Chains A and B, each alone.
Chain A
Amino acid sequence: MKAVKITDKVYWVGAIDWNIRDFHGYSTKQGTTYNAFLILSEKPTLIDTVKKEFYPEMMARIQSVIDPKKIKIIISNHSEMDHSGALPETVAAVQPEEVYCSDMGHVDLSAQLYPDFEMKVVKTGDKIDVGGDTISFVEARMLHWPDSMFSYLEKENILFTNDVFGMHYATSKLFDDENNEIDWLYEAEKYYANIVLPYSDIVLRFLDTVTKMGLSPKIIAPDHGFIWRKDPSKIINLYAKWAAQAPKNKAVVVYDTMWGSTQKMAEYIADGLREGGTEVKLMSMHSCHRSDVVTELLDSSGLIIGSPVLNSEIFPAMADVLCYLKGLKKKNLVGGAFGSYGWNPAPVNSLAEMLKAMKVEQVAPVVSSKFVPNAEVLQQCRQLGLTVSQKIAEKLK
């Protein structure tokens, strides 16, 4: 296992997880990487580590350029265990002089790793001398955890951004210029939608702060996916766009079905949306993953939810995706709800409460069908799609 050179003084020493397909409930069809970075300054410095089981891979990569025992400083930009899991073993093997983290990093690392080593807290604006270069720190609270922090290597002009600007994308090509946008764009959107979306306001403020600080990094090095060395502004501009959540003429219809009735209703709603001129994604929870639903929702303006009734409750897969979407707090949505029931319509009607809890503006009454939808109900479904489409068009004016 070899390190990969980023500049003459900075190496990638992370690990590639080709096999992971479920990252805490987020489907990672293309695997991921856990990026760690080694700075060969006079005081060799390691930024972040990897998931615990990838410790041997990281150490082998470090060993390919330097004796790990020569590392003097370790920085934790993010305490989540895919970046800190290997920290205790690394500290034990390396015996660094200092381990640095943010204030909340100290709290969060302590509660996850129960470390037997000292950690020094750094704050925004603090600088450390790594011998021949300087690292300055910028706390990035809630991007995407309370502890999140950026480290900026001044002379090399590299910004290490923890999970921000990353994606779950396993690749042997570790730089932006080696990868085709068509291969990674969906993964970058998916990462934003599933990890960063609820903190979009903070993203906008933070981008503004970084600009005002005069930081204009030549290279952006996130903790997942590849390193942005040719055009870091590409991902910064994408973040600005996604964080703004500007409305687009697109809607997602998400539903599950028991005997095909709710599916039939969904298809007529989708047809109404299409007829109104709205792009529509029809997503059955039989076939789609919750993490793909939120990815499609990222650039949508409409959300219509549908469920059949089982044991006087909504369908379990719908409860799953609605709980997930509520937590991710997509803004600027209009929508509606629908579903088929046998003898108890209350669970279908309760979908209106779900919309309210998700801050989705409900623009039409809930459409429900006793068992199989008849022609009248299907017409109501088509009308629901048309109404949502019209409301989206009004918002876009």
Chain B
Amino acid sequence: MKYTCEICGYTYDPAEGDVMHNIAAGTSFENLPADWTCPVCGVGKDQFKPAE
């Protein structure tokens, strides 16, 4: 499932992963490290909500 940052609107797509933080494609949002941060605005996972 995709998750969207409530602060800046960035959407984490598990199919893409996060190149900036060396997160491999296929990594679910739940499996992102606890200290993972939004690659755009820098906030933590707790600021993300499931994308509509």
What residues of chain A have their CB less than 8 Å away from a CB belonging to chain B?
104, 141-142, 146, 199, 201-202, 359
Contact = CB atoms under 8 A, between A and B. Distances in A.
A187 to B, nearest CB: 26
A359 B18 CA distance: 13
A104 B43 CA distance: 14
Contact of B7 (A104, A201, A359): A104
A146 B7 CA distance: 6
B8 interface: yes
Closest 8 CB pairs of A and B: A142-B8, A146-B7, A141-B9, A141-B8, A146-B8, A142-B40, A142-B41, A146-B41
Interface majority SS (helix, strand, loop, mixed), chain B: loop
14 contacts: A104-B7, A141-B8, A141-B9, A142-B8, A142-B9, A142-B40, A142-B41, A146-B7, A146-B8, A146-B41, A199-B40, A201-B40, A202-B40, A359-B20
A142 B41 CA distance: 7
A104 B6 CA distance: 9
A378 B7 CA distance: 49
A142 B20 CA distance: 17
Nearest to A146: B7
Interface in B1-49: 7-9, 20, 40-41
B40 to A, nearest CB: 6
Contacts of B41: 142, 146
Contacts of B9: 141-142
Contacts of B40: 142, 199, 201-202
Contacts of A141: 8-9
A142 B10 CA distance: 10
A163 to B, nearest CB: 16
A359 B20 CA distance: 8
Given A146-B41, A202-B40, 12 more contacts: A104-B7, A141-B8, A141-B9, A142-B8, A142-B9, A142-B40, A142-B41, A146-B7, A146-B8, A199-B40, A201-B40, A359-B20
B47 to A, nearest CB: 10
Contacts of A199: 40
A359 B40 CA distance: 15
Contacts of A202: 40
B2 to A, nearest CB: 17
A273 B13 CA distance: 40
A104 B5 CA distance: 12
Nearest to B8: A142
A355 to B, nearest CB: 15
Contacts of B7: 104, 146
B29 to A, nearest CB: 20
Nearest to A331: B20
Contacts of A142: 8-9, 40-41
A201 B40 CA distance: 9
Contacts of A201: 40
Nearest to B41: A142
A104 B41 CA distance: 13
A280 to B, nearest CB: 28
Contacts of A359: 20
A199 B20 CA distance: 13
B44 to A, nearest CB: 15
